[in-house]
Structure 1
């Protein structure tokens, strides 16, 4: 019988090499039928491993759940169908949606929908840290790593929301996930209630999951969602922790999460190789391969010399045209030029509403004393690709700090129409894809 272990680390996150027992987890163990066999909250890794040992379980499939804001949801419009060509085109298809060097980002490919392929993007250094955290566990092996919000059961034609303490996990019917603070649910709901100009006004179903205590504590935000206009809000009470809901939805295929363990971070199946009987023949073939490899290396070195000379000539021409560009090198000059050509050809912004809203909300949480910084209204123009936020703060410095944080993320952020009043300042923040 195949068992699945769902593990969700709790903040603060500890270094697995320095203090492996300091990290605490929520976890649940499912059998092959999807029934929960064991669970725990705030346990260490050793406690979980001991539970597996006491139940005589081995080779359990470990599914690690990381915070949803660790990975960015993207869409890739790639006409190719062969996996090799899709992987080659993937970095170019999502480069403009990511506010950092694409070479430092790990891309995981999901399923194909009406709007293209679903893609998860995560910083390579962060991905390596998560792989280290979930690897090497006794009686289990790493099978997959998912953004936690991506496992929420999808609500057709609308959004699903799961209350999780001070935070809330969200997912749309097309699979895009994000995490926000629970107190901002009302503001997010008013944004959902504003239909695009080209769409017919229709109701948007919203399902909210939470324990009875959390649903009671968030009555104010839920009431604000219900009064937002065209939203149809339905409450679903869960009896245990949100991880139970996520594991249940994953087992019953109520969601289509993207497994981040792909490419260089792919995991082995753990099964014995069917090629074991062919080991002697493989040894003979290996000798021939080494000889052939020596010949190929010699030819490769010869051609590499010519390739290096060609790249140096290309970079010399590029530096002549762009002498102030210190970030471009021979490895990415082609992609940089193609990106510049696409930007010139498109003539439009590269970030959609959810991306701009996510970065704005993230930078808002980083502003010191952000309680004095409030959003009066939010407007989004799809044609211009701009998010316009009316702000009020006790000082202009608060608004300037928010703008600076967005600029450091590679976005274009400007503050206009600033009015100084006796109680503070108000102005208008305009954010675009940069």
Structure 2
């Protein structure tokens, strides 16, 4: 019987190289039918491995879940169908949606939708750390690593939300996911109410999952969400921890997550090859292939020499123009030049409404004493890519702190129409892509 172990590390996250034993996890063990056989909260890795050993379980599939804000959801509009061409075009297709050097980002390809391929982007160093955290467990074989919010069961035509302490995980039926503070749900409700296309939609269904104490704790945010517009909010009470809901949705294919273990971060299955019985025939085919390869190699050798010479000439011209650039090589010189030309033609990468709202909400949470800072109204202009927020604060310093935080994230943020009043100040914050 095939078992799956879903593991979700708890903050604060320990360094896998320095103190892996200090990391605690929530976990749940499922059998082949999807029934939960064991679970645990805030357990170290040794306890989980001991539980599997005591039950004589070996070669269990490990599903690692990382925080949803570790990976960014992107869409790549690539007309190609062959995987090789898609992988080659992928960095160019999502480069403008990511606010860091594309060479430092690991891209994982998901399924194809009407708007393009779904893509998860995560910092390479962070991905290496997560892979190290989940790899090498006793009695377990790593199968996949997913952003936790991506495993929420999808709500047809709308959004799914799962309350998780002070945070909330969100995903839409288009596959995008994110994690925010639960107190910001009311503010984010305006983006949920916005129709994803030009079609007129009467209501946008929203399903909120949470335990009874969490639903009661965040009653105010849920009320704000219901007042955000065309949202039809439905509450679903769960009896156990959110990980149980995520594992259930994944086992029953109620979600479409993107496995981050791809490419250089891929994992081997460790299973015996089903082609083992065909080994003699494969050996004969390999001999034929080697002979054919020798013939093709002789024909291609001359063409390869010409290609190498052409690349050398191209790099020589580039070195003459940029003598101090030591990072560019023949494999990426074309993309570097295209990126430089694109940067000269535009002020920087744009950002859609959801991205601007996410960064604005995150920086709002970091403003000291943010209770005195309130949003009166929010407007978004798609043609200009601008988010306009009417603010009110007890002092101009609060608004300035919010603007500074957004600027440090690489966005353009300006405060205008400032009016000082007896009880504080009000103004208009305009946020756009960096």
Query: What TM-score, normalized by structure 2, do the two folds share?
Result: 0.88
Maintained 8 Å contact 2:188/2:357: no
Instruction: Flag structure 2 segments of 5+ consecutive residues without an equivalent.
Output: none
Task: Work out the CA distance in 1 between the residues paired with 2:261 and 2:73.
Answer: 15
Instruction: Give the direction of change, closer, same or farther, for the CA distance of 1:301–1:361 in structure 2 (3 Å limit).
Output: farther
Maintained 8 Å contact 1:76/1:116: yes
Alignment of 1:84-233 (within 5 A): 84-195=84-195, 198-233=198-233
Task: Work out the CA distance in 1 between the residues paired with 2:3 and 2:81.
Answer: 34
CA apart distance, 1:214? 0.8
CA apart distance, 1:22? 0.8
CA apart distance, 1:170? 0.5
Task: Identify the range of structure 1 (226-235 vs 305-314) with the bigger mean alpha-carbon deviation.
Answer: 305-314
Aligned to 1:120, the other structure's residue is in SS state strand
CA apart distance, 1:16? 1.6
CA apart distance, 1:334? 2.4
Aligned to 2:240, the other structure's residue is in SS state coil
Aligned to 2:371, the other structure's residue is in SS state helix
Aligned to 1:188, the other structure's residue is in SS state helix
* Mapped pair 1:46 → 2:46: yes
Task: Work out the CA distance in 2 between the residues paired with 1:197 and 1:84.
Answer: 31
Match of 1:312 among 278, 301, 316: 316
Instruction: Give the direction of change, closer, same or farther, for the CA distance of 1:44–1:413 in structure 2 (3 Å limit).
Output: same
**Alpha-carbon displacement from aligned partner over 1:145-166 (angstroms, at most 9, x marks no partner):** 0000000000011000101110
CA apart distance, 1:195? 5.0
Alignment of 1:394-433 (within 5 A): 394-433=394-433
Aligned to 1:360, the other structure's residue is in SS state helix
**Alpha-carbon displacement from aligned partner over 1:295-317 (angstroms, at most 9, x marks no partner):** 99999899757634421312434
Instruction: Give the direction of change, closer, same or farther, for the CA distance of 1:245–1:142 in structure 2 (3 Å limit).
Output: same
Maintained 8 Å contact 1:2/1:60: yes
Aligned to 1:207, the other structure's residue is in SS state strand
**Alpha-carbon displacement from aligned partner over 1:111-133 (angstroms, at most 9, x marks no partner):** 01111110000000000000001
Alignment of 1:7-46 (within 5 A): 7-46=7-46
Task: Work out the CA distance in 2 between the residues paired with 1:87 and 1:124.
Answer: 17
Match of 2:334 in 1: 334
Maintained 8 Å contact 1:105/1:124: yes
Task: Work out the CA distance in 2 between the residues paired with 1:102 and 1:68.
Answer: 20
Aligned to 1:155, the other structure's residue is in SS state coil
Task: Identify the range of structure 1 (121-130 vs 393-402) with the bigger mean alpha-carbon deviation.
Answer: 393-402
Aligned to 2:155, the other structure's residue is in SS state coil
Instruction: Give the direction of change, closer, same or farther, for the CA distance of 1:315–1:401 in structure 2 (3 Å limit).
Output: farther
- Deviation beyond 6 Å, 4+ runs, structure 1: 295-303, 343-349
Task: Work out the CA distance in 2 between the residues paired with 1:111 and 1:350.
Answer: 24
Task: Identify the range of structure 1 (89-98 vs 387-396) with the bigger mean alpha-carbon deviation.
Answer: 387-396
Match of 2:370 in 1: 370
* Mapped pair 1:259 → 2:259: yes
Maintained 8 Å contact 1:348/1:385: no
How many aligned positions are there? 424
Task: Work out the CA distance in 2 between the residues paired with 1:371 and 1:297.
Answer: 70
Task: Work out the CA distance in 2 between the residues paired with 1:299 and 1:85.
Answer: 21
Instruction: Give the direction of change, closer, same or farther, for the CA distance of 1:61–1:388 in structure 2 (3 Å limit).
Output: same
Instruction: Give the direction of change, closer, same or farther, for the CA distance of 1:205–1:343 in structure 2 (3 Å limit).
Output: farther
CA apart distance, 1:144? 0.4
**Alpha-carbon displacement from aligned partner over 1:210-263 (angstroms, at most 9, x marks no partner):** 011111111111122222221111111100000000000000000000000000
Instruction: Give the direction of change, closer, same or farther, for the CA distance of 1:202–1:349 in structure 2 (3 Å limit).
Output: farther
Maintained 8 Å contact 2:96/2:349: no
Task: Work out the CA distance in 1 between the residues paired with 2:363 and 2:320.
Answer: 39
Maintained 8 Å contact 1:99/1:411: no
**Alpha-carbon displacement from aligned partner over 1:151-190 (angstroms, at most 9, x marks no partner):** 0000011000101110000001101001111111111113
Instruction: Flag structure 1 segments of 5+ consecutive residues without an equivalent.
Output: none
Match of 2:250 in 1: 250
Query: Over aligned residues, Cα RMSD in angstroms?
Result: 3.2
CA apart distance, 1:34? 0.2
Task: Work out the CA distance in 2 between the residues paired with 1:311 and 1:401.
Answer: 46
CA apart distance, 1:424? 3.2
**Alpha-carbon displacement from aligned partner over 1:412-431 (angstroms, at most 9, x marks no partner):** 22222222334333222222
Aligned to 2:26, the other structure's residue is in SS state strand
Task: Work out the CA distance in 2 between the residues paired with 1:311 and 1:219.
Answer: 62
Instruction: Give the direction of change, closer, same or farther, for the CA distance of 1:312–1:217 in structure 2 (3 Å limit).
Output: same
Maintained 8 Å contact 2:106/2:123: yes
